[in-house]
Structure 1
Amino acid sequence: MNYLHDCSNVLKKFVVALAFFIPVNEALAQKEDMQKYLYVGRSPKDRDGFRELKPSLEVHDINNNHKLVKVIPLPASVMNIRGIFANAKTHRLYISHYGTMKGGETGYILCMDLLSNKVLWHKKYASAVDRGTITPDGATIFMPSGEDTPTDYFYVIDAKTGQEKVDSRVHVAPRTHNTICSPDNTKVFMSAFGTKMDHNWLHVVDARTAKTIRRIGPCFGTVRPFTINGKATLAFINVNKLIGFNVGDVATGKILFTANVPEPYALPADVRNATFCHGIAMANQEKEVWVVDQKSYGLHVFDVSGLPLKAPAWKQFIKTNQGNEKDKQGNFLYGPKAIYGQPGWIMGSLDGRYLYIETGEIIDVMEKKITGYLKGANGKYTHSRFAVEVDFKDGQVVSCGDQFVVGGLSR
């Protein structure tokens, strides 16, 4: 009897385990069935290595070693791209740009259908533009009016038509710059270079009312790139004069910690208000934050698993391909010589496996090493700050990533 009873219990456990096992494998199969592509924005601007570029989206197959599989031409007027974002519900992709090789006094947004690759609208706005965001429901765009302009507002735009809701402009501080919408569609995070009085704050706005909720700060220095965790309870903020980041509590607006790198990576005490850390990402299921280091040419990895009670802890440094040696013309020599400049932005895949560095490197998050390079239509290694993942299944868009590596379950 005891033997039969034990067998019965084993059988019951097996059936229960099987009930959980089948859906997991079905989910994995569905993911494997998806076509995962990285859309990379390319456009000319007045900088060495970029003037000859043709406006386009270069599409890389993530499932096939990031091979370039398609080039989607963009209108010739698309110049000096400032941001890229997409929405799965409306299957639309948006590109903000200056429309000129130089300067930042004009601003345009291009809207493209991801199923047909056709431009749906292409509009000019009252001031410039920068890195905007779209609400997860696909309804509203929040767009900066330009880091190089004195305007202090973010546009609120109907994502379907491109029409600005002028009466809803969000006024924060001059020289508006970066924007992230929380995954739950409730909050929009906005940065602005501001003035000497308000340069070191991150602004939080209600996504439904376009009204400011609070400010996070004061930060260690002028706010640069930032990201948030999936629940939008913590903000991770690059600032001037710091290789590292501030951790901000979204509920209270207070700065919880300042994460610093150890020697020999730290900045000298007398350094001016320079930007050495311009690029930040959440990774490894929100256990890590990665930041760019333009002084030592690479990326720092921090353990943030103890937040909000425990301070971030530095883990390691990963060198990218930028070096200190210059050629006879004064250009930096490093890694594949076709890459130009040092990294100043981090992008990522939706599943959290890869981080994409501005200078073309593909980094495996778990292995903590460079595993490949994005290669463009011109045969050179890609240099871009503007990439977003778009996933298709049965010919339909099922998910879209973000130009910022925001935290979430998939990461």
Structure 2
Amino acid sequence: MKNYRLLLFVALACLTTFPVRAQQTKRYLYVVTPGVRNYLGYGGHGINVFDIDDNHKFVKFIETPGGMKADGTVSNVKGVDVSLATNAIYISTLEAIQCYDLTTSKLRWEKQYEGGVDRISISPDGGTIYSPSLEKEFWNVLDARSGDIITKIVTNSGSHNTIYGPDGKYVYLAGLKAPVLNVADAKTHKVVKQVGPFTAAIRPFTINGKQTLVYVNVNGLLGFEVGDLTTGKMLHRVTVEGFLVNDVKRHGCPSHGIGLTPDERELWLCDGANERLHVFDNTVMPPVQKTTIRVRDMPGWITFSVDGKYAYPSTGDVIDVKTRHIVATLEDAEHNAVQSEKMVEIHFRNGKAVAMGDQFGIGTVR
């Protein structure tokens, strides 16, 4: 009898102690390829998944049957984003958007859009997608559940990169053919403001959490410019010191990639000409150059882990933000290098996505 009671006590203790493990949150980095043009040698055609808490080890490869051109070849991946509301990951290619279920990894739908697609962004509530046409005159506003077009926003700016503001009120629309940033009201889906002009057409950009500042790459500049989202004025032009502007492999732009650490204390800048990342002190304005980090290839994009511990350039290097050391490199199951300009962090609990990062290196100080 005593032994029975002892066993019962131990069993109850285990039930009390260990259910937390069943609820444990797992953090993964979803890296979509081909995310450097249509180069299949950097990760194949699909989603490479890495375990953030296990030294970014390769976990699995998710095949993506969508994303094909009319001639049967694989299309360039242009963007990636996640909706917690629909439990889905969305991948944009040159021609279409694919929606995959995050629990089953199955394709729910794929739709092509007139004018093509570029880098998409989804509303914080997960219900609306802003989808730029491929460097053309307009953005499509889509229902995230169905992919149906709600309306169209015409800017005539060469639509390209898109950021949905973290409060869901505004969407920031940058085009390859304009030196101004258009700002759309997320309720009316109309442009209500312009920021700039900057000194050239806008390439990648990011914003702070309060949505008062925008940091933009522009054509021809090894560096970045800063704009005031409140007044609409350009504030500063910051040039990287100590490095030459050489030829770049891709994008035709020496700095293509920019992001803020989540605490907004630093700004990290891609230098495709010298295969480096330059780190700036963002506690002062304009930001001041601090140090540089050599990476294994040309960086064309950068974002950060949700907790701010890691920097993720498109080269597949995983960098400890505090020490500046490369602590891992993304590799597939056969130890081939994985590189992509399209990646996003997703947290899962019991097979369902419960949190996510962002692809743009947006600040989180509100």
**What is the TM-score of this pair, normalised by structure 2?**
0.87
Query: Aligned partners of 1:154, 1:219: CA distance in 2, in Å?
Result: 21
Read off the aligned partner of 1:217 and give its amino acid letter.
G
Query: Aligned partners of 1:38, 1:293: CA distance in 2, in Å?
Result: 23
1:10-66: CA deviation from partner (whole Å, max 9, x where unpaired): xxxxxxxxxxxxxxxxxxx99x9320001111139876x526964211110101111
Query: Aligned partners of 2:255, 2:36: CA distance in 1, in Å?
Result: 23
Query: Aligned partners of 2:350, 2:102: CA distance in 1, in Å?
Result: 14
Q: Is the 8 A contact 2:271 2:277 kept in 1?
A: yes
Two-structure CA RMSD over aligned residues (Å): 2.2
Alpha-carbon shift at residue 94 of structure 1 (Å)? 0.1
Q: Is the 8 A contact 1:44 1:54 kept in 2?
A: no
Query: Aligned partners of 1:224, 1:378: CA distance in 2, in Å?
Result: 34
**What corresponds to 2:147 in structure 1?**
162
**What corresponds to 1:352 in structure 2?**
308
1:313-367: CA deviation from partner (whole Å, max 9, x where unpaired): 1111111124xxxxxxxxxxxxxxxxxxx11111221111111111111111111
Mapping 1:63-142, distance limit 5 Å: 63-75=53-65, 77-78=67-68, 79-98=75-94, 107-142=95-130
Identify the match of residue 244 of structure 1 among 208, 220, 223: 223
Higher strand fraction (1 or 2): 2
Does the C-alpha gap of structure 1 residues 319 and 351 become closer, same or farther in structure 2, counting only changes over 3 Å? same
**What corresponds to 1:364 in structure 2?**
320
Mapping 1:112-261, distance limit 5 Å: 112-147=100-135, 151-165=136-150, 168-194=151-177, 199-261=178-240
Query: Aligned partners of 2:190, 2:170: CA distance in 1, in Å?
Result: 10
Alpha-carbon shift at residue 128 of structure 1 (Å)? 0.9
Query: Aligned partners of 2:274, 2:41: CA distance in 1, in Å?
Result: 27
Read off the aligned partner of 1:141 and give its amino acid letter.
I
Read off the aligned partner of 1:296 and give its amino acid letter.
N
1:83-115: CA deviation from partner (whole Å, max 9, x where unpaired): 0000223211100012xxxxxxxx100001111
Equivalent position SS for 2:231 = coil
Aligned length: 336
Query: Aligned partners of 2:322, 2:225: CA distance in 1, in Å?
Result: 24
**What is the TM-score of this pair, normalised by structure 1?**
0.77
**What corresponds to 1:24 in structure 2?**
none
Q: Is the 8 A contact 1:284 1:365 kept in 2?
A: no
Does the C-alpha gap of structure 1 residues 45 and 255 become closer, same or farther in structure 2, counting only changes over 3 Å? closer
Does the C-alpha gap of structure 1 residues 121 and 351 become closer, same or farther in structure 2, counting only changes over 3 Å? same
Identify the match of residue 290 of structure 1 among 268, 284, 288: 268
Q: Is the 8 A contact 1:182 1:231 kept in 2?
A: no
Identity %: 38
Which protein has greater RCO, CA pairs closer than 8 Å, 6+ apart?
2
Alpha-carbon shift at residue 267 of structure 1 (Å)? 3.9
- Do residues 318 (structure 1) and 290 (structure 2) align? no
Please, which runs of 5 or more residues in structure 1 have no aligned partner?
1-28, 99-106, 323-341
Identify the match of residue 55 of structure 1 among 24, 45, 49: 45
Q: Is the 8 A contact 1:229 1:406 kept in 2?
A: yes
Q: Is the 8 A contact 2:27 2:345 kept in 1?
A: yes
**What corresponds to 2:10 in structure 1?**
none
Q: Is the 8 A contact 1:284 1:366 kept in 2?
A: no
Query: Aligned partners of 2:210, 2:268: CA distance in 1, in Å?
Result: 18
Read off the aligned partner of 1:66 and give its amino acid letter.
H
